[in-house]
């Protein structure tokens, strides 16, 4: 069967690698893909919110399944587009329709959903410019730090955590009145600050049953010791040692089951991934956010640990018989370290030739921001490559990732040397 993956990051390279291992997959296509997916699949250079262009690729290449990597096409309704088209409606899309994608597309919606279905999460209220004064009053009732979130998608930049009340009020006004994050901050969610350690749990669901995928922890800050600006993610580890069986059992009972049941009660037929961002506060889970896709770079440690055929699981999602599918995960630890362009997450240069990654033999190199130019692999983004390794322990896996990184080079290459520092 021919499969199309939408996206171009390390996450999509990891999907491509895993799907390429399935006997049931004949030809793989990735749109737009990167220099890594180019080796496993046919890259097709289109804009993934151009649904007519996707339709053309699907029909031309007899594609029988579409796997959506990032949230933007889901929130824009790519799955709904398929269902509404006579020629596409029987081709399964892995990823929710617009109604389900709102779990990530609107923080206000997702908070309402959690409250309605009894999923533990921080107390909150939402405000617009029409009730700004109420927003100030709500802030005054909270204790610092203050958490302000743009309701809509803001490319991962829409969350502000502020220590002073004055600053929080100024930012709130800037968000709702001056559209600091454009239309995304027309509505702002203000919520209680949650204490604890963060981790993520991933769920694959066909809308009725679910599989809980390995947990992971990512390292979002650019600097060592978790300092500096937020990035898309500088590395990840799976499993998470502090997410023991007792904690994961609580997550399943208090978060996963009410989430799946809530979607059903609300008539949302959800087929795809749910990425649950959690705070572990003394063994008690609280949901920080839902995303409607896999995480990046979390996927680069989660998928390699899954031993089952991913395509088979996706068929289960498509045909709503996921409960019949076998699912197993290795006990080994996987770590990934992200190589980034110097300057990222601020301005950085592209088109740097990347050397040495072909010589890596004890890790998997997932390409993220790479492209082919004059037969050379060059950088094309801030996050360039994720170097994933297995080990019996976190230390062993990390040693391999760092040894492999020693072989890779591009001008101004940067990476964190302390991934997992808080866990070992
Ligand atoms: P989000 O986009 O909702 O994941 O928020 C981005 C980051 O802000 C999260 O990964 C957390 O580190 C932090 N964050 C968000 N909400 C809260 C909260 N209520 N309490 C503490 N930290 C939070
Ligand atoms: N690594 C965080 C994310 O994918 O949203």
29 C-alpha to ligand 1 centroid (Å): 34
Instruction: Give the ligand whose atoms come closest to the C-alpha of residue 9.
Output: 2
Q: Tell whether the model's pLDDT for residue 177 goes beyond 90.
A: no
Ligand 2 and 233: CB distance under 6 A:
yes
Report the distance separating Cα 239 and Cα 304, nearest Å: 12
Q: Give the contacts of 416 (CB within 8 A, at least 6 positions apart).
A: 219, 222, 223, 224, 234, 235, 337, 338
Report the distance separating Cα 253 and Cα 259, nearest Å: 10
Query: Which percentage of the chain shows pLDDT scores above 70?
Result: 100
Asked if 217 and 202 touch (Cβ cutoff 8 Å), the reply is no
Ligand 1 and 191: CB distance under 6 A:
yes
Ligand 1 and 198: CB distance under 6 A:
yes
186 C-alpha to ligand 2 centroid (Å): 23
Report the distance separating Cα 124 and Cα 91, nearest Å: 39
Ligand 1 and 276: CB distance under 6 A:
no
- Identify the pLDDT of residue 174: 86
Helix residue spans in 6-121 (DSSP H): 10-20, 51-60, 71-75, 78-83, 98-105, 107-116
Q: Give the contacts of 210 (CB within 8 A, at least 6 positions apart).
A: 203, 204, 256, 260, 322
Q: Tell whether the model's pLDDT for residue 182 goes beyond 90.
A: no
Give the mean pLDDT of the chain: 96
What b/e string do you get for 109-135 counting C-beta neighbours within 10 Å, with b at 16 or more? bbbebbeebebbbbebbbbbbeebeeb
Ligand 2 and 298: CB distance under 6 A:
yes
| Cα angle value 71/72/76 (rounded, 5°) | 115
DSSP category for residue 269: -
At 16-72, the pLDDT tens digits run: 999 999 999 999 999 999 999 999 999 999 999 999 999 999 999 999 999 999 999
Indicate which residue's Cα is closest to atom 2 of ligand 2: 295
Asked if 282 and 196 touch (Cβ cutoff 8 Å), the reply is yes
288 C-alpha to ligand 1 centroid (Å): 6
- Identify the pLDDT of residue 137: 93
Q: Tell whether the model's pLDDT for residue 385 goes beyond 80.
A: yes
- Identify the pLDDT of residue 192: 94
pTM over 0.75: yes
Report the distance separating Cα 388 and Cα 386, nearest Å: 6
Our mutation pick for probing the ligand 2 site, out of 158, 226, 291, 303, counting the most ligand atoms within 8 A of Cβ, is 291
What b/e string do you get for 11-39 counting C-beta neighbours within 10 Å, with b at 16 or more? bbbbbbbbbbebeebeebbbbbbbbbbbe
Q: Tell whether the model's pLDDT for residue 180 goes beyond 90.
A: no
395 C-alpha to ligand 1 centroid (Å): 28
Report the distance separating Cα 413 and Cα 364, nearest Å: 18
Residue 201's DSSP bridge partners are 276
Helix (H) or strand (E) holding 337, with range, is strand 333-341
Report the distance separating Cα 3 and Cα 393, nearest Å: 35
Asked if 188 and 149 touch (Cβ cutoff 8 Å), the reply is yes
Ligand 1 and 327: CB distance under 6 A:
no
Instruction: Give the ligand whose atoms come closest to the C-alpha of residue 298.
Output: 2
Asked if 188 and 176 touch (Cβ cutoff 8 Å), the reply is yes
* Alpha-carbon distances, residue 85 vs 58, 113, 170, 269, 371 (angstroms): 12, 29, 46, 18, 33
Ligand 2 and 291: CB distance under 6 A:
yes
- Identify the pLDDT of residue 326: 93
DSSP category for residue 255: I
- Identify the pLDDT of residue 298: 98
- Identify the pLDDT of residue 366: 98
Report the distance separating Cα 325 and Cα 317, nearest Å: 10
Query: Which percentage of the chain shows pLDDT scores above 90?
Result: 90
Q: Tell whether the model's pLDDT for residue 156 goes beyond 80.
A: no
Ligand 2 and 218: CB distance under 6 A:
yes
Report the distance separating Cα 340 and Cα 336, nearest Å: 13
At 316-335, the pLDDT tens digits run: 999 999 999 999 999 999 99
Task: Give the pair of three-digit tokens for residue 80.
Answer: 């709904």
Report the distance separating Cα 255 and Cα 279, nearest Å: 12
Ligand 1 and 159: CB distance under 6 A:
yes
- Identify the pLDDT of residue 381: 96
Q: Is the dihedral of CA 235, 241, 247, 248 positive or negative?
A: positive
Q: Which domains does the chain have, with CATH numbers?
A: 2-98 (3.40.50.20), 123-191 (3.30.1490.20)
Our mutation pick for probing the ligand 2 site, out of 222, 232, 238, 294, counting the most ligand atoms within 8 A of Cβ, is 232
Asked if 30 and 41 touch (Cβ cutoff 8 Å), the reply is yes
């Amino acid at each position: 069967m021919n499969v199309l993956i939408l996206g171009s990051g390390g996450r999509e390279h990891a999907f491509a690698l895993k799907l390429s291992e399935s006997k049931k997959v004949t030809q793989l296509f990735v749109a737009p893909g990167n220099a890594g997916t180019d080796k496993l699949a046919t890259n097709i250079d289109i804009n993934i919110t151009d649904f007519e262009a996707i339709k053309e690729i699907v029909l031309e290449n007899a594609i029988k399944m579409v796997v959506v990597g990032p949230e933007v096409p889901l929130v824009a309704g790519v799955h709904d587009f398929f269902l509404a088209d006579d020629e596409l409606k029987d081709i399964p899309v892995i990823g929710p329709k617009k109604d389900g994608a709102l779990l990530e597309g609107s923080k206000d919606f997702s908070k309402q959903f959690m409250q309605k279905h009894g999923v533990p999460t921080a107390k909150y209220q939402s405000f617009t410019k029409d009730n700004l004064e109420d927003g100030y009053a709500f802030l005054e009732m909270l204790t610092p730090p203050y958490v302000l979130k743009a309701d809509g998608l803001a490319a991962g930049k829409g969350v502000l955590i502020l220590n002073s009340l004055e600053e929080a009020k100024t930012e709130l006004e800037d968000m709702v009145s001056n559209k600091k994050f454009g239309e995304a901050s027309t509505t702002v969610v203000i919520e209680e600050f949650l204490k604890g350690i963060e981790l993520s749990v991933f769920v694959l669901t066909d809308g009725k049953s679910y599989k809980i995928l390995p947990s992971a922890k990512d390292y979002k800050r650019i600097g060592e010791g978790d300092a500096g600006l937020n990035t898309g993610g500088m590395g990840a580890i799976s499993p998470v040692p502090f997410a023991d069986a007792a904690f994961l059992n609580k997550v399943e009972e208090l978060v996963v089951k009410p989430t799946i049941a809530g979607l059903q009660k609300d008539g949302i037929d959800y087929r795809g991934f749910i990425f649950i961002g959690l705070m572990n506060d003394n063994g008690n889970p609280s949901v920080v956010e839902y995303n409607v896709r896999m995480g990046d770079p979390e996927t680069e440690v989660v998928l390699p640990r899954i031993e089952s055929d991913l395509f088979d699981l996706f068929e289960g999602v498509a045909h709503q018989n996921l409960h019949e599918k076998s699912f197993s995960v290795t006990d080994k630890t996987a770590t990934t370290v992200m190589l980034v362009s110097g300057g990222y997450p601020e301005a950085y240069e592209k088109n740097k030739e990347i050397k040495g990654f072909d010589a890596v033999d004890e890790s998997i190199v997932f390409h993220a921001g790479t492209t082919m130019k004059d037969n050379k692999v060059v950088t094309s983004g801030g996050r360039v490559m994720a170097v994933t390794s297995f080990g019996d322990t976190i230390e062993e896996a990390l040693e391999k990732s760092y040894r492999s990184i020693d072989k890779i080079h591009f001008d101004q290459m940067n990476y964190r040397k302390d991934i997992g520092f808080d866990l070992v």
